Amino acid sequence: MDHDSDKRGEDRNSNWAWYLVLTSIIILSVGMFVMNNAIYRLKYPDLISLLHATNYESKGSNRLLEFREVVQPDGTTQRVPTPGKIEVQSPVKSDTTVELSKIRNVQVDDTMVRGEVFKRVLKDGKPQGDGAYVNFRVNKDDNEQTAEELRRALEASNVDWYYADGPSFLDQYGPMLILLGVGLLAIMLVARRMGGVGSPMSFARSRGRLYAQDDISITFEDIAGVDEAVEEVREIVDFLKYPEKYQRLGGRIPKGVLLVGPPGTGKTLLAKAIAGEAGVPFFSLSGSDFVEMFVGVGAARVRDMFQQASAKSPCIIFIDELDALGKSRSGSVVGVHDEREQTLNALLVEMDGFDPNTGIIIIGATNRPETLDPALLRPGRFDRHVLVDRPDKSGRLEILKVHVRNVKLAPEVELDHIAGITSGFSGADLANLVNEAALLAARKNKDLVGQEEFDEAVERVTAGLERKSRVMDEEEKRRVAYHEAAHALVAYSLPNTDPVHKVSIIPRGLAALGYTMQRPAGERFLMTRAELESQMQVLLAGTLAEEIIFSDISTGAQNDLERATAIARSMVMEFGMSRLGRVNYRESGRSPFLGGSDGFASREYSEQTAREIDEEVRRIIDEMAHKARQILIERRQALETVTLRLIEIEVMDAEELARLIDESLPGPRMAVGTREAAPKRSDASEPAAEPSESATPSPRRDAGP
């Protein structure tokens, strides 16, 4: 629907230009056709016959001589006969002829004879109408014999005639120049409307696309899962509808609203809903639309954007990916990114310079607010920040209800269950999930989308596509089964881990030969030291099991080691969970919504401290590996039982895993020496999907050798 609205908004702006081009061509063609048909093309022999017709009878009619009074040079008058008549075959119809007579005003040049002749159409010798004078043209050869013959005929026929220098430039090339001018004008109009080469300054025009009120059908009813953000922006809609309500009290609506949040959470959709609810024009563009190879173009486009918006006020300007335009200027080297800074300066001036009561509201969207320039975020510019975060369980349920409106669901589908196992999913992820489930049902030729398709879609989205073509031999399959069974056993034996949802040794994705899928028992916002240590033990269990069973390790634990090391290093450098004390050694431009780093990190500690950090990370990893090894050795019987069953069925759910482990354990479920960090936040029987940003991602994907 969004894509169709985009196309309508763009096509509507340029269709009128195409209509103008076609209309101009049609009018010009008709005009040229009419003009050419108004000139009678007379053949040269017929012209000579017409000039001699004074001396001969006309075909099909009696000789009828007409006379006229001609003033002689001496002042006397003389009656002379007028030219006679001839009949020629009609070039249009075979059963008609054309009577030509009374030739006059003859103009002769080197290649052509022009003049006027009385033309009347005859059928079976009877006139078809009164006839009329028409212009005629005759092409002739440029030689002395033809010129002498024509001169004698003209002198003998008493016709007024004269020599001319030939057709003028306009007579010869006028129609062609008119056609060329109209074509160029039409092309320039189209190019100017499309931002092309029609105007020398067209590259400085804004690339923003305008959506009229009728083009935006999205309202707040189409948005779910971000109720707090919707309530925050309802005030914007109210101001656009009833501005006098605020102005009479001296209030001022925020000039700019910054929507921040992870990718796919609905920031663009929320901006469109604001315009749809308010019923005002909506300008949409990206931060990269201001970037061009010419210096000063970005600033010119900013000014043009606000000029267009002022003409459409009240309206909304939406700038997506604002961080491409508004990055902080503090860290740039002098002389570098000068063009980007000019564009940013132009935006700052326009936001702080236009009339606050014009009804222009700027909405920006970004998932990297920490990179924006402070001047852009101060009061008077983007002074209101609205968080559009990943939805919680109730929000995910509402989003699923929106996306399944047009999907034929089977009665057994439980949207509440799906919302529970998709923790950490954004609105875009849930839309993709519903679409994947519908595609799976269509692939199976089903009439309804069932719970089975939704469960499989969750697995496809989180773990990747099943690789049926990747067939492992028995020894490799046995190694992968021990690896995944160890992950599941240690996760089941520790109190501070997420419940195991599924264990599989079916290859999926790019490199995963198997995976253990864990789902948090509820919404996670913080993680304790005990939980991080338990996560590392679960991650290290796979490679430790391989070492215990096969006395050798494989490359399948590469992702496990990478994630365990990252957790240990974060504990030492960021969380203060080590012997080095509660000190943060890492300061970087890390985004709270994207994770990772933007490629740079300051190092404000010595080489000795760096060595101590490395040693502390190694110590934590070794300590967690020792604890995980102890669990596997003490519970080897359970490890063997789960592995054999996993080799047999390849995919094991949480219920069967718990049953097999409980039957094989001689003692309590929790491993000896473990401690629980805090009471569980919700019932573990209600699993959820991806953990939040602070939690370790799931599922675990173990690469093959």
Contact 463, 698 (CB under 8 A): no
Residues 302, 290: contact at Cβ < 8 Å?
A: yes
- What mean pLDDT is predicted for residues 530-546? 94
For residues 526 and 631, membership in a common domain is answered with yes
Are 361 and 436 in a shared domain? no
Under the banding of pLDDT at 50, 70 and 90, the label for residue 512 is: confident
pLDDT over threshold 60, residue 78: yes
In a domain, 458, yes or no: yes
Domain identity same for 451 and 539: no
> What does the pLDDT read at residue 197?
41
Asked if 343 and 408 sit in the same domain, the reply is no
Minimum mean pLDDT range among 44-48, 111-115, 406-410, 675-679: 675-679
CATH number of the domain that 264 lies in?
A: 3.40.50.300
For residue 614, pLDDT over 90 is answered with yes
In contact, 371 and 598? CB cutoff 8 Å: yes
Q: Quick check: 169 pLDDT over 90?
A: no
Q: Which residues of 16-31 are buried (b: 16+ CB within 10 A; e: fewer)?
A: ebeeebeebeeebeee
The Cα 375–Cα 354 span in angstroms is 16
pLDDT score, position 269: 87
On the question of pLDDT at 326 being above 60, the answer is: yes
Residue 208: what pLDDT? 53
Q: Which helix (H) or strand (E) holds 513?
A: strand 512-518
Residue 701 belongs to a domain: no
**What DSSP state is assigned to residue 389?**
P
Radius of gyration in angstroms for the set of CA atoms belonging to the chain, rounded to a whole number: 44
User: What angle, 0 to 180 degrees and rounded to 10, lies between the N-to-C axes of helices 227-241 and 267-278?
Assistant: 30
Please enumerate in sequence order all residues whose Cβ is within 8 A of that of 134, keeping only pairs 6 or more positions apart, or say none.
38, 39, 40, 116, 117, 119
Query: What confidence score (pLDDT) does residue 547 get?
Result: 93
Residue 683 located in a structural domain: no
Taking alpha carbons only, the member of 92, 94, 91 closest to residue 46 is 91
Residue entry with tokens 């002739």: 140
pLDDT greater than 70 at residue 557: yes
Owning domain of residue 416:
393-462
Residue 375 has pLDDT above 90, yes or no: no
Q: What number is the average pLDDT over the span 516-532?
A: 83
Instruction: Clarify whether residues 454 and 575 are in a common domain.
Output: no
Asked whether residue 649 carries a pLDDT value surpassing 70, the answer given is: yes
In a domain, 468, yes or no: no
The two tokens of residue 453 are: 């398709």
Q: Environment class of residue 326 by beta-carbon count within 10 Å: exposed (0-12), middle (13-18) or buried (19+)?
A: buried
- Considering the domain architecture, whether residues 236 and 382 belong to the same structural domain is answered as yes
- pLDDT tens, 208-217? 566 666 677 7
**Position 704 in a domain:** no
Tell me the residue type at 103. I
Question: Can you tell me which residue has the tokens 């719970």?
Answer: 451
Residue 324: partners with Cβ closer than 8 Å, 6 or more residues away: 286, 287, 288, 291
The answer to whether residues 188 and 198 touch, using CB atoms and an 8 Å cutoff, is yes
Split at pLDDT 50, 70, 90, the class of 566 is very high
Cis? peptide before 592, omega within 30° of 0: no
Whether 166 has a pLDDT exceeding 80, the answer reads no
Q: Which two tokens stand for residue 322?
A: 């604002």
The confidence band for 146, taking pLDDT boundaries of 50, 70 and 90, is: confident
171 pLDDT exceeds 50? yes
Same domain, 413 and 354: no
Residue 161: pLDDT band with limits 50, 70, 90: confident
Of 407-411, 566-570, 621-625, the one with minimum mean pLDDT is: 407-411
Mean pLDDT of 593-615: 73
Closest CA to 628 of 501, 518, 491: 491
pLDDT at residue 561, rounded to an integer: 94
Mean pLDDT of 439-464: 87
Q: What is the DSSP letter of 505?
A: -
Mean pLDDT of 164-193: 68
The 3-state secondary structure of 635-669, one letter per residue: CHHHHHHHHHHHHHHCEEEHHHHHHHHHHHCCCCC
Check: pTM over 0.75? Answer yes or no.
Answer: no
Between 46 and 187, residue with greater pLDDT = 46
Distances (CA, A) of 114 to 149, 163, 176, 311, 494: 16, 10, 20, 57, 108
Neighbours of 201 (CB within 10 A): 10
Note the pLDDT of residue 567.
95
Compute the half-sphere exposure of residue 565: CA atoms within 13 Å on the CB side of its CA: 10
Same-domain pairing of 330 and 440: no
163-164-166 Cα angle (round to 5): 135
**pLDDT: which is higher, 6 or 338:** 338
Does 484 qualify as catalytic in the annotation?
yes
684-695 tens-digit pLDDT: 333 333 333 333
Alpha helices in 404-496 (DSSP H): 415-420, 427-443, 451-463, 474-493
| Residue 22 confidence class, pLDDT cut points 50, 70, 90 | low
Both tokens of 173, joined, read 């090339």
Q: What is the pLDDT of residue 622?
A: 96
Digit-coded pLDDT (tens) for 91-108: 767 778 888 887 888 888
How far apart (Å, rounded) are the C-alpha atoms in residues 375 and 387? 20
pLDDT of 337 > 90? The answer is no
Where residue 7 falls among pLDDT bands split at 50, 70, 90?
very low
Q: Taking a C-beta distance cutoff of 8 angstroms, is the pair 589, 598 a contact?
A: yes
Closest alpha carbon to 277 in 326, 313, 239, 321:
239
Q: Give the residue from 647, 664, 681 where a domain finishes.
A: 664
- Chain Cα centroid distance, residue 651: 39
Mean pLDDT of 340-359: 73
The three-state secondary structure class of 387 is strand
In this predicted structure, which of 79-88, 159-168, 239-248, 661-670 has the lowest mean pLDDT? 79-88
Give the pLDDT of residue 191: 59
User: How many domains, in total, are found in the chain?
Assistant: 4
Lowest mean pLDDT segment, chosen from 50-64, 247-261, 459-473, 685-699: 685-699
Which one of 387, 405, 433 terminates a domain?
387
Q: Are residues 420 and 363 in the same domain?
A: no
Instruction: With CA atoms as reference, report the closest residue to 388 among 597, 233, 217.
Output: 233
Judge if 228 and 264 occupy the same domain: yes
Computed over every residue of the chain, the mean pLDDT equals: 76
Sign of the four-CA dihedral 23, 28, 29, 33: positive
The enclosing H or E element of 46 equals helix 44-52
Q: How confident is the model at residue 35 (pLDDT cuts 50, 70, 90)?
A: low
Last residue of a domain, one of 432, 462, 492: 462
Confidence band of 507 (pLDDT split at 50, 70, 90):
confident
Which CATH number covers residue 535?
Answer: 1.20.58.760
Q: Which of 453, 484, 546, 690 is catalytic?
A: 484
The rounded distance, in Å, linking the Cα atoms of 426 and 423 is: 9
Higher pLDDT, 392 or 593: 392
With respect to residue 687, please indicate whether it lies within any of the assigned structural domains. no
Report d(CA 660, CA 641) in Å as an integer. Answer: 7
> What confidence category does residue 349 fall into, taking pLDDT thresholds of 50, 70 and 90?
confident
The answer to whether residues 412 and 378 belong to one domain is no
Same domain membership, residue 412 and residue 322:
no
Q: What is the CATH number of the domain that holds 455?
A: 1.10.8.60
Confidence at residue 59, expressed as pLDDT on a 0 to 100 scale: 38
User: Is 206 a member of any domain?
Assistant: no
Q: Does a structural domain hold residue 260?
A: yes
Considering the chain, what percentage of its residues have pLDDT values greater than 90?
17
Amino acid 694: pLDDT: 32
pLDDT of residue 685: 34
